[in-house]
Chain A
Amino acid sequence: MEFLSYLINGISLGSVYAIIALGYTMVYGIAKMLNFAHGDVIMVGSYIVFIAVNQMGMPPLLAIVISMALCTLLGIVIERFAYKPLRSASSLAVLITAIGVSYLLQNLALLIWGADPKSFTSVVGLAPVQLAGGRLVISGETIVTIVVSAIIMAGLIFFVNNTKMGRAMLAVSEDKGAAQLMGINVNSTIAMTFAIGSALAAVAGVLLCSAYPTLQPTTGAMPGIKAFTAAVFGGIGSIPGAFVGGILLGVIEIMSKAYISTQLADAIVFAVLIIVLLVRPTGLLGKKISEKV
């Protein structure tokens, strides 16, 4: 029974990682850049919901929609002003810029909202499910997070494979130059990718803060790094890979906390990552692309 309970906690934590990792992998897969500011867009999204619900008294659903819209805008603005001018620069330059944007967002949040941790009120109205006479409790947040991340994964796969915009994204990810020759607007395709990634970040932020109800300017940082790990673990660029990687990472983390040591959990998680990358350098579901010389 305890094992089952740990497993559920692990899947719950993992689905939060998964939903963040989807945003990472989406941007990496198409724009071929690591958007380290993703975790901080999550934080901004959470603050918007917090203010809308706690201070302005809006219904949670409306707050989430507003937060998604503003995060989409934020993502497009970041892409336009920080990343687009560096489109032809080395990938290292873009990476450093992304880290800069991440610090910029954290410190802006510090100035605007202050550093006192806020207690986020869960937006999930679902009552916890009690099984086996209360010994096994599955919280509403857990159920919603798992369902939402599965829906988002399925939606993204459908979008990328079956819509015109999605196929344009696939083309851009394979070869920007060739895609442009085929009449695809590369800039707007990449901007679209950031818009979707940032909207996902808003949803991820709400679910993250509903499950772990504390909010401060650094809230997105650690989950962001863990989710990035999950994306690499599952094979960065692969949408199902991010989902599987996220869930596995959560389960490994909780299981090592439960059965090995609560203090060594992070060390174990990253050790597993190293082993996976040694055995399968492209991650669990990553595709190996052979370059023709």
Chain B
Amino acid sequence: MKKAMSLVLAAAMAFGFAACGGASSTSGAASTASSTASGAAIKIGGIGPLTGGAAIYGNAVKNGAELAVEEINAQGGLQFELNFQDDENDPEKSLNAYNNLKDWGMQALLGTVTTQPCLTVAPETAADNMFLLTPSASAVDVIKEDNAFQVCFTDPNQGVASADYIAENGLATKIAIIYDSSDAYSSGIHDKFKEEAATKGLEIVADEAFTADNKTDFSVQVQKAKSSGAELVFLPIYYSEANLIIQEMNKQGCTASVFGCDGLDGLLTIEGADTSLFEGVMLLTPFAADAQDEKTQNFVSKYEEKYGETPNQFAADAYDGVYTILAACEQGGVTADMDASAVCDALKAAMTQITVDGLTGEGMKWEATGEVNKAPRAVKIQNGAYTAM
């Protein structure tokens, strides 16, 4: 049943794609058509959850990447062709999507969007020598191989940056953590946060976990955080569970403030949620849609016009990711007729030489390890929108 389901979804997606390509512009459609004949466009594959609990991330990445590809193709010069596949945030389906993309003739992979599937796909890409740039999968192990790079911070860096941010801005000294111990993303941030908090003089008064099979009842975790006298609850988790925890805190009358990482991005888009409860929630995110710089405003207005919603950090990561691939392709002299392995070798060398001024950071540079260097930023939810802190 599940297989049949995924086939139906894949078919639906393929239709969606055909429709997108047709609607975009005549020049875009022409380049897609000619690329199959002459190979004029570099084929970029994308993988992420377009359906399922993490769909917000995958769709944002898909939209952000599409927007960037359209801009790049309109400029002339190197041409890109994007094929984005759904993985429902499931490692097995992600691997299937990767194999489909290889059959399609992918030359570089933008993805995968979420950590767990990426941990499965990344070793495969290393074996195939396929260039991998993930916009948002943030575990360290994702970039273990030398063909893999990240646009976002690694989990440990998010944990360290969160502790630093809390300490330096004097947000709190007594901190409770609630994290998902069955998830690599969440426990990765948790571990580094704890280490860094100790060196910064922050006191962890409660350290509570939950697991994937038991993530609706948070009464105990919240109760423990409340009775520990924490001033701030650190939530290195995804927004679905964060929504439940914040509601439970409200129910129990726990007034501690909430601080999270990029996983909380999406809170405001949950259908039916009482967003007034999210007021004052802080999250570490490299992108705030209300930032005043020209680049962000340009991106946000185009995105809103095309997709009818405000872009989140994942859309920005993907947008930067496509431009990073463009910069690396130009630096490494990549052309559309090179095979995936040759593209990978050229891009690997080029990545450490380029500097990209993106939406998610000025002067982003990469280490050979695949880690990105950029300054962390945080936002606060005020009046139902992100406000830079």
Contacts and interface: CB of A to CB of B under 8 A. Distances in A.
Contact of B244 (A50, A130, A214, A254): A214
B210 A117 contact: no
B221 A262 contact: yes
Interface in A109-126: 110, 114-121
A139 B253 CA distance: 11
Nearest to A225: B213
B217 A13 contact: yes
Interface stretch (B52-60, B194-202, B323-331): B52-60
A6 B209 contact: no
Nearest to B252: A137
Query: Which of B217, B224, B252 gathers the greatest number of chain A CB atoms within 10 Å?
Result: B217
B271 A116 contact: yes
A254 B217 contact: yes
B221 A119 contact: no
Interface string A8-48: 01001100000000000000000000000000000000000
Given A104-B1, A121-B272, A139-B251, A263 B51 contact: no
Contact of A115 (B53, B223, B244): B53
A214 B274 contact: no
Contacts of A59: none
Contacts of B243: 117, 119, 213-214
B5 A116 contact: no
A6 B223 contact: yes
Contacts of A110: 5, 51
A206 to B, nearest CB: 14
A257 interface: yes
Contacts of A119: 243, 247, 270-274
Nearest to B269: A116
Interface residues of A, number: 41
A214 B240 CA distance: 8
Contacts of B387: none
A116 B53 CA distance: 5
B141 interface: no
Contact of B253 (A2, A13, A121, A134): A134
A215 B53 CA distance: 10
A115 B52 contact: yes
Given A12-B219, A103-B1, A115-B55, A213 B247 contact: yes
Nearest to B277: A119
A97 B181 CA distance: 35
Contacts of B382: none
Nearest to B238: A117
B38 interface: no
Interface residues of B, number: 37
A137 B251 contact: yes
A121 B274 contact: yes
B2 interface: yes
Contacts of B223: 2, 5-6, 9, 258
B22 to A, nearest CB: 24
Nearest to A140: B251
Contacts of A258: 220, 223-224
B34 interface: no
Interface in B57-83: none
B225 to A, nearest CB: 12
Interface string B162-189: 0000000000000000000110000000
A116 B270 contact: yes
A100 B209 CA distance: 33
A12 to B, nearest CB: 7
B208 interface: yes
Interface in B247-274: 247, 251-253, 270-274
B227 interface: yes
A254 B272 contact: no
Nearest to B270: A119
Contact of A118 (B227, B252, B272): B272
Contacts of A262: 208-210, 220-221
B211 interface: yes
A54 interface: yes
A263 B274 contact: no
Interface string A192-221: 000000000000000000001111100000
Contact of A222 (B2, B88, B213, B224): B213
A282 interface: no
A139 B217 CA distance: 14
A120 B220 contact: no
Nearest to B59: A116
Interface in A47-106: 50, 54, 100, 103-104
28 contacts: A2-B227, A13-B219, A50-B272, A103-B2, A107-B1, A107-B2, A110-B5, A110-B51, A114-B55, A115-B52, A115-B55, A115-B88, A117-B53, A117-B243, A118-B272, A119-B247, A119-B272, A120-B272, A139-B251, A212-B244, A214-B216, A214-B240, A222-B213, A222-B214, A258-B223, A258-B224, A265-B214, A266-B214
Given A121-B274, A214-B216, A263-B181, 4 more contacts: A115-B52, A222-B213, A223-B216, A266-B213
Which 3 pairs from chain A and chain B are nearest by CB? A119-B273, A9-B219, A212-B216
